[in-house]
Amino acid sequence: MKAALLDTDDRYRVTELDEPVPGPGQVAIRVAYAGIQWGDTMVRDGQFPVPRPFVPGFEASGHITAVGEGVDPGRVGEPVTALTPSGAFAEVVLAPAVLAVGIGDLSLRTAAGLGWGAPTAYDLINTAAQVRPGERVLIHAAAGSVGTLATQFARLAGAARIVGVAGTEARAAYAARFGCTQVLLRDEYPAKLGDEQFDVILDPVGGPTRRTGLGQLAPHGRLVAYGNLDTFDPVLADTNDLLMQGRSLVTYNSNLLSRTHPERLAAGLRHARDLVAGGRVRVDITAEYDLADLPVAVQHLAEGTTLGKSVLRIAA
């Protein structure tokens, strides 16, 4: 099979490999499309230590071609979207059966756009933050895959005001298309908000942004930290101060959830799939690349020029 390898020289190359065979609890998927996500930039840049050479790729859509021990053989032939520990940038990938979710009539291209971003965004709004009708929500990185989906999920949850933060004018204009009440540029934050407080803040940035966010929480507000795009420097919080205002600092780690409670992550993916299939939420795939163009696709994401979601066309 063809696969993209991330080699010891930090370069991608397309090569031929043997097709993997599913083990217990796994399925093999003939990949149609593979989603590109922020984890791909982190692996490329060495922030996630993995042995090289390594077949990257963490999300795919396609048809199940084989199942391992303990998996219903009737699933062979089923079209699915899958969250994988690696290997999605190849013609065949292995995935935990529980994280290979049927897509019904949803197109394989759209299904690949769900990826990790859809269940993450759904869980951020509905499980971690538990957004309630009438609440005010602040979403950082609002023009990305998670941000655009989280905005839509927040609107469905009844949020009264949704403020997005984006890095450039183009990204701000893009984020506004998904239901934000207002979108700020990164250099306008937080000054342009004045003393406004929020019931929920979604923060994948970390560092000073996280410290500022804790001070912007309304009584009983929740800040959900789910990444460190800016810095891994620790952010300290005084629990006594949080307690006096009923504020909460919550974390969400989808990678950890996939290993400890994969059925919970799969449930979020199914909820997101149903909302997309029903036309209530839109996955916006803005770029499609061939397997050989993977270096360009990952670099565009790292530079911030990617809007919404990008995918690789493997064998569609």
pLDDT, one tens digit per residue, over 257-288 is 999 999 999 999 999 999 999 999 999 999 99
Mean pLDDT of 281-309: 94
Output the pLDDT for position 316.
60
Mean pLDDT of 96-124: 97
Is the confidence at residue 77, as pLDDT, over 90? Answer: yes
Output the pLDDT for position 55.
96
Q: What is the DSSP string of the chain?
A: -EEEEE-TTS-EEEEE-PPP---TTEEEEEEEEEEE-HHHHHHHTTSS---SSB----EEEEEEEEE-TTS-GGGTT-EEEEE-SS--SBSEEEEEGGGEEE-TTS-HHHHHHHTTHHHHHHHIIIIIS---TT-EEEEESTTBHHHHHHHHHHHHTT-SEEEEEESSHHHHHHHHTTT-SEEEEGGGTTGGGTT--EEEEEESS-HHHHHHHHHHEEEEEEEEE---SS--------HHHHHHHT-EEEE--HHHHHHH-HHHHHHHHHHHHHHHHTTSS---EEEEEEGGGHHHHHHHHHHT---BEEEEES--
Output the pLDDT for position 47.
84
The whole-model pTM stands at 0.95
Is the confidence at residue 46, as pLDDT, over 90? Answer: no
Average pLDDT of the chain, as a whole number: 96
Is the confidence at residue 214, as pLDDT, over 90? Answer: yes
Is the confidence at residue 121, as pLDDT, over 90? Answer: yes
Mean pLDDT of 126-145: 97
Domains of the chain: 2-115+284-313 (3.90.180.10), 118-255 (3.40.50.720)
Is the confidence at residue 16, as pLDDT, over 80? Answer: yes
Is the confidence at residue 141, as pLDDT, over 90? Answer: yes
Mean pLDDT of 130-151: 97
**How confident is residue 304, by pLDDT bands cut at 50, 70 and 90?**
confident
**Percent of the chain scoring above 70 in pLDDT:** 100
